[in-house]
Amino acid sequence: MDEAEKRKLILSFAVTVAVALFCGFVYKTPDNLPDPGTGLRLLAGIVAIPTGFIGLLIGDFLRRVVMPDAIFTSGGFFDLLKARLFWGIGPQAIGLFIGVAIGATLVL
């Protein structure tokens, strides 16, 4: 594994930790259920870290498999920018949020 891949994995893990802990503490319980304490929210964030990272890795794998070699748009610069941005971080972000949601709902 080269240096760029290591930096990418470290950055991905840091983003996963931030998103998982944020989602654990932002969770709003329904009105008919008791509010979980800080310890349970922290546990939800800790459980969501590995599931979110696995989701991010699955999203990255799918991006590498299905990403097109060339992108053609008829809308101009901003449509091209939007397509490039999606294929740059879109599948990873979707996998990250699905993984974090699964991990947090296992606890909460």
Per-residue pLDDT tens digits for 3-29: 988 999 999 999 999 999 898 888 777
Residue 56: pLDDT above 90? yes
How confident is the prediction for the chain on average, in pLDDT? 89
Per the structure block, which two tokens stand in for 2? Answer: 């080269």
- Helices (H), strands (E): how many in the chain? 3, 0
Residues 6+ apart with CB under 8 A from 83: 71, 73
- Per-residue pLDDT, 37: 82
Give the C-alpha separation, 91 to 39, whole Å: 31
Residue 105: pLDDT above 90? no
